[in-house]
Structure 1
Amino acid sequence: MISKDEYPRYKAWLRRVAEFKDFTDDQFDYLTDQMQVKTFAKGQILFDQGDMRDRYYFMISGLVRTERLDDTGNFGFLSYIKEKKGFPYRGLFQDEEYAYSAEAMTSIEIISFPMSKFEAVIQENQLATKRVIQEMGQIINRNEDQLQRMVISSATKRVEQALEIFSEQLGEPKANGETYVPYPITLIELARVSGTTRETASRAVQKLISDGLISYQHKNFTFFGETLA
């Protein structure tokens, strides 16, 4: 856990972030009164699906993977949360438990607040409520798009679609037109998202590299065009 002597610096940073600009000073002080700032190592679990939904998280740096399992435990839906993004939004004002698990994909630094306080301040502030609704809409759109793009029989095509999703959601555009994903993505991770084997994912990646569409160095992907078609 970060020393509380450092908290004023984190509060000042947070106040400049779009998601927190709309709060009044009193609302912001109320929200951050029980704020925690922590670091997690790669592979550490923030919470499990079914745990009490008692904290709202906001990413400072790094990447978190979320996974929701169906009732059988055989099917999992994966999504990713990068810096300057908050979670969970699912279940606001309603659920008592987290709807998915969250794991650090890299070393991360993260702020959290009591969920009850977060819900209270967004309920009081119309601009904050609007921003949360917009964020939830974007999450729904991304998840629906991901599901639709993964419902294809060809494993190779699913790998290509998963790579494009990584590019769109996690990539950083460069001045030369390339898109670089600054987070390490293993072939095993790519295979999990694609619903296939590591071997199939590896073959698909090697083909895209040989076709000059991507590069894959030190587990980081670079995309040389907007699509892999």
Structure 2
Amino acid sequence: MMADQNPEQGSLNCFTCQARERTEWCVLDDAELELLNKGRLTREYLPGEVIFHEGDPCRGVFCLETGMVGVRKTDADGNSVLLYLVTPGDTLGYRAMLAGEDYRASAEALEPTRICVIDVPTVRSLLEHNPALGLRYLKRVSMSLGNAEEKILHNATLSVRARFAHLLLVLIDKYGEKSSDGPTEFELPLSRHDLASMIGTTPESMSRTIKKMESDGVARFAGRTVHIPEIEILVQEFEPDHYV
């Protein structure tokens, strides 16, 4: 069950947070950090718990300290589509906060997760007084737009197999024990249904792609465990020969 922790409780605070240097908040001075610390609430979520729902009023931004979060939207047929993953150091909810809108997607904990929630008045006050913070958020929005454009391009020009290979390479970069001249093994953090939705295909097409990659010796799958004999072979799957 979701658990709340006030800023005064425990040892966690904005001054000692190890994830802060990877966030927009790294530009704050001590006085601003004190304001940030007073305006936050730490929450812990179990896998499957919803952090906010699509359409909820924006109540703040969410800074991920540990764990992993999936951002989802509901399509026209009522199916849940996984859009992207949020990992420690990432920020959630900033677009709704900046635009003064409701949340346009839902966020769900995919593993035990700890998040700091910073209320809207605190964020807006800091943005008004620290131009560097605003530039950091502008950079975050620009990167998000670039990633969305890249995903649209991949879905339009790459085969399902190439898109899946690219996703595996991204996941290996985050979760795998990489080796340039040997095998790589890691645990998929997602179900096959979510993997399919992330690359814009169906679970059935995903299953066929996995079987073909196994028969070609590109990868082996056992449940959520993925074994890649050679990273270079997987990289070759993302080459122009695999464009549609």
For structure 2, the 5+ residue unaligned runs are 239-244
Once the 2 structures are TM-superposed, how far is the Cα of residue 14 of structure 1 from its aligned partner? 5.1
Determine the C-alpha separation between the residues in 1 that align with 2:195 and 2:227.
14
Q: Which moved more, 1:184-193 or 1:49-58?
A: 184-193
For structure 1, the 5+ residue unaligned runs are none
**Any conservation in 1 of the 2:35–2:122 contact (CA below 8 Å)?**
yes
**Any conservation in 2 of the 1:146–1:165 contact (CA below 8 Å)?**
no
Q: Answer yes or no: is 1:46 the counterpart of 2:51.
A: yes
Match of 2:21 in 1: 17
Q: Tell me how many residue pairs correspond in the alignment.
A: 226
Determine the C-alpha separation between the residues in 2 that align with 1:170 and 1:63.
15
Once the 2 structures are TM-superposed, how far is the Cα of residue 169 of structure 1 from its aligned partner? 6.2
Q: Which letter maps to 2:11? A: P
**Any conservation in 2 of the 1:45–1:103 contact (CA below 8 Å)?**
yes
Change (3 A) 1:170 1:81: farther
**Any conservation in 2 of the 1:159–1:194 contact (CA below 8 Å)?**
no
Determine the C-alpha separation between the residues in 1 that align with 2:184 and 2:93.
27
**Any conservation in 2 of the 1:188–1:198 contact (CA below 8 Å)?**
yes
Aligned with 1:209 (options 214, 218, 229): 214
Q: Answer yes or no: is 1:101 the counterpart of 2:106.
A: yes
Q: Which moved more, 1:44-53 or 1:159-168?
A: 159-168
Match of 2:237 in 1: 228
TM-score (norm 2): 0.78
Once the 2 structures are TM-superposed, how far is the Cα of residue 81 of structure 1 from its aligned partner? 0.9
**SS in structure 1 opposite 2:73?**
strand
Write the mapping of 1:1-229 to structure 2, written as runs, cut at 5 A: 1=3, 3-4=5-6, 6-11=9-14, 12-13=16-17, 16-19=20-23, 20-69=25-74, 76=81, 78-151=83-156, 157-168=159-170, 171-172=173-174, 174=177, 176-177=179-180, 183-221=188-226, 223=228, 224-225=231-232, 226-229=235-238
Q: Percent identity?
A: 17
**Any conservation in 1 of the 2:67–2:88 contact (CA below 8 Å)?**
yes
**Any conservation in 2 of the 1:171–1:181 contact (CA below 8 Å)?**
no
Change (3 A) 1:88 1:169: farther
**SS in structure 2 opposite 1:212?**
coil
Deviations 1:137-190 (A, max 9, x none): 1111111111221135x8xx2253144135326733645227766552221111
Determine the C-alpha separation between the residues in 1 that align with 2:184 and 2:125.
39
**Any conservation in 2 of the 1:34–1:114 contact (CA below 8 Å)?**
yes
**Any conservation in 1 of the 2:155–2:199 contact (CA below 8 Å)?**
yes
Deviations 1:106-161 (A, max 9, x none): 22111111022113212321222221111111111111111221135x8xx22531
Deviations 1:53-101 (A, max 9, x none): 0121011122211123467857956111111111122234322311111
Kindly report the root-mean-square deviation, in angstroms, between the aligned alpha carbons of the 2 structures. 2.9
**Any conservation in 2 of the 1:37–1:111 contact (CA below 8 Å)?**
yes
